[in-house]
Amino acid sequence: MTTHNNLINGSWTPGKTTSPNTNPSDLSDVIGQYAQGDASDVDAAVAAATAAFPAWSVSGIQARHDALDKIGNEILARKEELGDLLAREEGKTRPEAIGEVARAGQIFKFFAGECLRLAGESLPSVRPGIGVEITREPIGVVGLITPWNFPIAIPAWKIAPALAFGNCVVIKPADLVPGSAWALADIIHRSGIPAGVFNLVMGRGRIIGDALVQHPDVAAISFTGSVGVGRGIAEACVKSGKKVQLEMGGKNPQVVLDDADLAQAVELSAQSCFYSTGQRCTASSRLIVTDKIYPAFVQALQERMAKIKVGDARAAGTDIGPVVSQAQLEQDLSYVEIAKAEGAVLATGGSRIACHTGSGKEGFFMQPALLVDSTPQMRINREEVFGPVASVIRVQDYEEALAVANDTAFGLSAGIATTSLKYASHFKRHAQAGMVMVNLPTAGVDYHVPFGGRKGSSYGPREQGRYAQEFYTTVKTAYTLA
């Protein structure tokens, strides 16, 4: 079986050990062996990135544009093959996985353009005869720590702006899904960028991630993952003076008002709660439904859920693939039990099942769960599950719906289904979330505009679009005597 090594200073470098990458749709299918590095690999990667930084930070914008554009083109040309790998290692369906790969390619092409658009300002000084220029410069070596749920898109949306603005990169992908990140590293390696500018170190979060966060020569950390790990990283970065950007959890509300188009509200709720196995930080998990539409909505959503086919991510006809791991499956199932114990009623789903094709292959398949008669204080409505589990809260009117939607420690994405312009406008202004959706699923974002949240969901500057430069550059103000 092929062993996939780390990329350090332009060379494929074995780790101290290897780890198998297993298909969650078929536990007998081992995709490959992937290097497991240690702190000495992080030291070597950071040293290579530090050595490469002086030249890369002043490299021409045309060269940087061309490298990123080439990377984007190869990703797009190979989207079917890379999408198949992604579906095989992470468990989202093939169409979803191909879409994610295409997103990664588009992100590289967008940031190729951003290389050419980086601008400064020129102002007069308040002191006569002096000119002021404001420019942006790269920050240095950036450490990128990424999660398992978007194995290529999240690495892409951190790597592409980092390189575009002249930084050098050490990335640690999630150890559950190293295959897509390794394939991306291979494409970047062959794009012709100088050795050391981009480095990949695979391995355990507590070892590789922690070594990156603690490293004195790393100037900034961008992290996506769980709240607990994110907060620990933020504390360590503040202590050592590193710039830090965190994207963490969500408990995204989907409000459904009496005046909503019922079929549309049901479809967008099914999409954002259960598709991609509910494993999106933007997924809805709290359905906040006003009194009069509640019975029809719950009934119609259950009917829609009955049509969802759960099974092998790569099989034709699958709507929802497996949960990513045994640990995540146990977490999802345990939250169904916690909700029941607290008084919510399980309307449908919520147990481990076999693949809809009857393949007999063992995978982490779970029937999407809908819990009704839940209340805002229940744990199911306060803690992130990160699986195909949604709960419904009944409210009297829009005002109560908004209050319940905002009654959370998180603030990533929030949605409303309504035909009322008045309520849609009010919700856009008053939902305490970084992203608001009107008559659209809470999940489903563009790649060229800012992504991020408020409260416990995010920390630091926004990712994506032209706002990405806030994190990946530092501002310089220069005064010149005329």
Ligand X SMILES: O=Cc1ccc(S(=O)(=O)O)cc1
Q: Which residues are part of the catalytic machinery?
A: 247
The 153-182 contact track toward ligand X, x by CB under 6 A, reads xx----------------------------
Interacting partner of 384 out of ligand X, ligand NAI, none (Cβ under 5 to 8 A depending on kind): ligand NAI
CB nearer to ligand X: pick between 6 and 93:
93
**Segment 172 to 231, residues that bind ligand NAI, using CB under 6 A:** 172, 174-175, 205-206, 209-210, 213, 224-226, 229
Q: How far apart are CA 320 and CA 346, in angstroms?
A: 20
Q: How far apart are CA 274 and CA 360, in angstroms?
A: 23
Q: Is 75 one of the binding residues for ligand X (CB under 6 A)?
A: no
Beta-carbon-side half-sphere exposure of residue 70 (alpha carbons within 13 Å): 14
Closest approach, Cβ 239 to ligand X, in A, equals: 27
Q: How far apart are CA 407 and CA 442, in angstroms?
A: 17
Q: For residue 350, with 0-12 CB atoms within 10 Å meaning exposed, 13-18 middle and 19 or more buried, which class applies?
A: buried
> Nearest-CA neighbor of 181 among 213, 156, 208, 207?
156
CA 458, 461, 464, 466: dihedral to nearest 10 degrees?
160
Which segments of 291-342 does DSSP mark as H helices, in order?
Answer: 294-306, 326-341
Q: How far apart are CA 83 and CA 87, in angstroms?
A: 6
Q: Is 150 one of the binding residues for ligand X (CB under 6 A)?
A: yes
Q: Is 151 one of the binding residues for ligand NAI (CB under 6 A)?
A: no
CA 68 to chain centre: 21
Q: Is 248 one of the binding residues for ligand NAI (CB under 6 A)?
A: yes
Interacting partner of 148 out of ligand X, ligand NAI, none (Cβ under 5 to 8 A depending on kind): ligand NAI
CB nearer to ligand X: pick between 23 and 464:
464
CB nearer to ligand X: pick between 35 and 162:
162
One residue of 142, 145, 162, 336 binding ligand NAI per CB under 6 A:
145
One residue of 407, 445, 455, 467 binding ligand X per CB under 6 A:
445
CA 396 to chain centre: 34
CB nearer to ligand X: pick between 154 and 402:
154
Q: Is 86 one of the binding residues for ligand X (CB under 6 A)?
A: no
**Segment 68 to 87, residues that bind ligand NAI, using CB under 6 A:** none
Amino acid at position 69, single letter: D
CB nearer to ligand X: pick between 26 and 319:
319
Q: Considering only 118-126, 317-325, 359-367, 440-448, which stretch makes contact with ligand X by CB under 6 A?
A: 440-448
- SS3 category, 30: strand
471: CB partners within 8 A, 6+ apart: 161, 220, 222, 243, 245, 460, 461, 462, 463
Residues 179 and 151: beta-carbon distance below 8 Å: yes
Q: Is 99 one of the binding residues for ligand X (CB under 6 A)?
A: no
Interacting partner of 226 out of ligand NAI, ligand X, none (Cβ under 5 to 8 A depending on kind): ligand NAI
Interacting partner of 225 out of ligand NAI, ligand X, none (Cβ under 5 to 8 A depending on kind): ligand NAI
Q: Is 148 one of the binding residues for ligand X (CB under 6 A)?
A: no
56: CB partners within 8 A, 6+ apart: 138, 166, 167, 168, 193, 194, 197
CB nearer to ligand X: pick between 35 and 323:
323
Interacting partner of 311 out of ligand NAI, ligand X, none (Cβ under 5 to 8 A depending on kind): none
Q: How far apart are CA 463 and CA 147, in angstroms?
A: 15
**Segment 358 to 417, residues that bind ligand NAI, using CB under 6 A:** 384, 386
One residue of 52, 443, 469, 470 binding ligand X per CB under 6 A:
443
The 262-281 contact track toward ligand X, x by CB under 6 A, reads ------------------xx
Q: How far apart are CA 281 and CA 368, in angstroms?
A: 17
CB nearer to ligand X: pick between 32 and 225:
225
Residues that bind ligand X (CB under 6 A): 150, 153-154, 280-282, 443-445
